[in-house]
Amino acid sequence: MPTLALPGGAIPVLGLGTWQAQGTAAERAVSAALQLGYRHIDTATMYRNEEEVGRALSTVGIDRDDVFVTTKLPPERVGRERRTLTESLVALNLDHLDLWLIHWPPGGDAAPRTWEAFRAARDEGLVRSIGVSNYSVAQIDQLVEATGEAPAVNQIPYSPADHDPGLLAAHRDRGVVVEGYSPLKRSDLRAPALVDAAAAHGVTPAQVVLRWHLQHDVVVIPKSTDRQRLAANLDVVGFELTEQEMARIDALA
C-alpha cells in the first residue's frame, strides 16, 4: 500500500474507518482488516470503540510499528486534552498514537490552546503526528499564525462529489495532507463516469472511487464491517485510472 509522508512517519493512503462500528462488530472488523492486510486504523473517542479496536490490535499478532493508529479528541474535551489522551492510550492498549486529531473545531474556534497541548504531547513522544478534522483552511491558518505550526493532516468528508482542486492545493501549499472520510457514502455509485471506469478495469464503482482518492494523493478511510467488502476496498492498487477517466470523475463535482 502506498504511503504519504507526515512529520512523524508515513501514513498508508488507505485505511479502515470505524465510525458507527461498535461492540463485537467493531472488534471483528478491525481483526479481519488487519488479517487482510490493512495497516491503518482510524477511530475516535466519540466513536466509543477504542477498547474494541485495542483488543483487535492486541490479538492479531502484528508488530505495533507496522500499524498506523489514529484517534481523535472530541470538542467537548477541550481543556482535558492530556487526560483524554491517556484514556485513549489505555483503551487502545498502546504507548503512543501515530496520529491524534482535534475532531471538530470546538465551538467553531480554531482552538490554538488545544493545538499547543497537542504539540506538547507530540514533543513528549505520546503522539508521532498531530492534526485536525473538519477544519477550514482559514482555521488552519489561525493555528499557524498562533503557533507557527500547521497540522500534519486535515480529515474532512471527501468524494468525487466533493472534489475541489483549489481546496486540495490550499492544503498542499500549507504542507497539510488531506484525509477523506465517508468516500462511498457520499458517492453516487451509479454515476456513468464510475460505472464506465469500473467496467474498463474489471472492478467495482466503489473500487474506482477509492482508486480516484489515491491518485489525487488523498488518504481515504472507507468503513465496513463486512469481510468481503473489506477485502474489495483494500484491493485498489492493481489498476490505474487513465487521465480521461480521472477527468470524468472529477467533473462529478
Contacts of 235 (CB under 8 A, 6+ apart): 207
Q: Which residue has the cell 458517492?
A: 187
Report if residue 3 sits inside a domain: no
Q: Name the 3-class secondary structure at 74.
A: coil
Number of domains in the chain: 1
| Residue 72 near residue 85, CB atoms below 8 Å | no
Q: Within 13 Å of residue 29, how many CA atoms lie on the same side as its CB?
A: 28
Q: How far apart are CA 51 and CA 240, in angstroms?
A: 37
- Distance, in Å, from the CA atom of 166 to the CA atom of 249, rounded to the nearest integer, reads 16
Q: Using only C-alpha atoms, what is the Rg of the chain?
A: 18
Separation between Cα atoms, residue 231 and residue 81, nearest integer Å: 35
Give catalytic status of residue 47 as yes or no: yes
Q: Is residue 82 part of a domain?
A: yes
Q: Which domain holds residue 165?
A: 8-250
Q: In a structure prediction context, what are the per-residue pLDDT tens digits for the chain, which is 253 residues long? A: 999 999 999 999 999 999 988 888 999 999 999 999 999 999 999 999 999 999 999 998 899 999 999 999 999 999 999 999 999 999 999 999 999 999 999 999 999 999 999 999 999 999 999 999 999 999 999 999 999 999 999 999 999 999 999 999 999 999 999 999 999 999 999 999 999 999 999 999 999 999 999 999 999 999 999 999 999 999 999 999 999 999 999 999 9
Which listed residue (38, 47, 135, 181) is catalytic?
A: 47
Question: Would you state the cell numbers that stand for residue 19, as one nine-digit string?
Answer: 465510525
Nearest to 150 by CA among 165, 160, 139, 134: 139
Residue 58 inside a domain? The answer is yes
Query: Does 2 map to a domain?
Result: no
- The CATH number of residue 36's host domain is 3.20.20.100
**Model pTM?**
0.96
**Residue 134 corresponds to which cell in the numbers above?**
473538519
Closest by CA to 128, choosing from 136, 137, 138, 118, is 118
In 10 A of CB 182, how many CB atoms?
18
